[in-house]
Amino acid sequence: MRIGLVCPYGMDQPGGVQNHVLGLAAWLTAQGHVAGIIAPGDFPAEAAAGYGIDPARFTSTGLPLGVPYNGSIARIDLQARLGVAAWLDEGRFDLIHVHEPLVPAVALTAIRRATCPVVATFHAAFDRAWVYNTAGHFLADELDRINARIAVSPTALRVVRDLLGLDAEVIGNGFRAGQFTPSLPAGRWRGGERPSIVFVGRFEEPRKGFWVLAEALEIITSLWGEVDVTVIGPGEPVASLPGVTFRGTVSDAERDAALEHADIFVAPQMGRESFGIVLLEALAAGAHVVASDLECFRDLLTGDDGVVGSLFPPGDPDALARSVITLLRDPPPTGPGIERAWCFDWSRIGPLIVNQYDRALTDHAGHSLDPPRKIAPAVMNHVLAEGHKRFHSRRWRMERVD
């Protein structure tokens, strides 16, 4: 098949949706399909080489613009319409697979312009429904053009059902579990003389919960002693945290190496998470995972033999510290965690997605389409203005959110 993959977020910066699209493109190519990608931003040569993707298969819609979205900054291209139309005409795709289908303008334009079957994957989880309420009211035609829908988790599925009145097949994000080689410690700890704790993410965003880990460290060091903490992700280092190394944005290889030498990976997010691929990557790397007890994290960490990580109430530094100290004192085997991570390897996830492609092809055969139309400017202005207002109504710095 010739498959067009649509990503609304800029490829020049790492992210869960971007990595999922790249991994899917690599897997589809390995299976003999032709996969083209369209997204804002540049496609770094390192990413192309790391995934084994021909850069010629990537089309950029232009420079992305940072737009407030779901408590974060989404790098999207709001002027992508002509580029998307040309990509569809030249690609001659058997179907397109649109990720985050309600994000303007790359995703929505692709849905409206496509004459081939459309598969859509919903990644996001919202604690406020204004985005999907707007979409469900104004974008019924676009939603009707989707032939098969995927939600990456039960959390994402509930958003689709409750706010859009639609159903979807739950298929988790895929990743390359085999790219990790869990290291064996030379002594007691994998990272050196002291336990190694790793955090990955945009730590300045309050919803990522880094402040919970920062407060927990005081308790951990008072009860246990010194630990080495590595923080990977964009942001200004916090000088007032002794024993914490802020490495900034690093290459995928450097990030993987940090996970492979971590004793504990901490995911203290406060909410609005729909999956959490980095938790699976940490498990595959042989680290123990301590995570907020969010529904999506609980689903990821629960296998046939029970929970393979340690969960604590979101926003509770004392509980986080207790979980970490318990693991340091009596670490369980890492085998079950590695096995759970492999459930989301592309060898498992890829065929499930292709099944949805077959379903979309069948549905499209008897599905008539209205001519493509433009989204009303008033709708776009409402979405952007509402997002801007809600984003700036919150304090945008690392602080405790009570």
Residue 185 confidence (pLDDT): 80
Instruction: Looking at the structure, tell me whether residues 50 and 114 fall in a common domain.
Output: yes
CA distances from 249 to 12, 32, 65, 207 (A): 12, 33, 19, 19
Instruction: Looking at the structure, tell me whether residues 317 and 364 fall in a common domain.
Output: no
Q: How far apart are CA 88 and CA 278, in angstroms?
A: 32
Residue 379 confidence (pLDDT): 47
Mean pLDDT in runs of 10 for the chain (402 residues)?
93 83 96 95 84 92 57 49 86 96 84 94 70 63 91 90 89 95 86 93 91 96 94 89 91 92 96 89 97 94 91 97 96 94 97 97 74 49 48 39 34
Instruction: Looking at the structure, tell me whether residues 164 and 220 fall in a common domain.
Output: no
Instruction: Looking at the structure, tell me whether residues 201 and 324 fall in a common domain.
Output: yes
Range of the domain at 17: 2-174+346-392
Structural domain contains residue 399: no
Structural domain contains residue 306: yes
Instruction: Looking at the structure, tell me whether residues 166 and 239 fall in a common domain.
Output: no
Instruction: Looking at the structure, tell me whether residues 331 and 351 fall in a common domain.
Output: no
| Each residue's pLDDT tens digit, 212-224 | 999 999 999 999 9
Residue 400 confidence (pLDDT): 34
| Each residue's pLDDT tens digit, 151-169 | 999 989 988 888 788 999 9
Structural domain contains residue 362: yes
Instruction: Looking at the structure, tell me whether residues 368 and 321 fall in a common domain.
Output: no
Instruction: Looking at the structure, tell me whether residues 95 and 205 fall in a common domain.
Output: no
Structural domain contains residue 397: no
Instruction: Looking at the structure, tell me whether residues 41 and 149 fall in a common domain.
Output: yes
Instruction: Looking at the structure, tell me whether residues 149 and 213 fall in a common domain.
Output: no
Residues of the chain with pLDDT > 70: what percent?
82
Residue 393 confidence (pLDDT): 45
Domain of residue 337, CATH code:
3.40.50.2000
Structural domain contains residue 402: no
Residue 73 confidence (pLDDT): 46
Q: How many domains does the chain have?
A: 2
Instruction: Looking at the structure, tell me whether residues 330 and 363 fall in a common domain.
Output: no
Structural domain contains residue 398: no
Query: From the CB of residue 31, how many other CB atoms can be counted at a distance below 10 Å?
Result: 13
Last residue of a domain, one of 325, 342, 359: 342
Instruction: Looking at the structure, tell me whether residues 18 and 82 fall in a common domain.
Output: yes
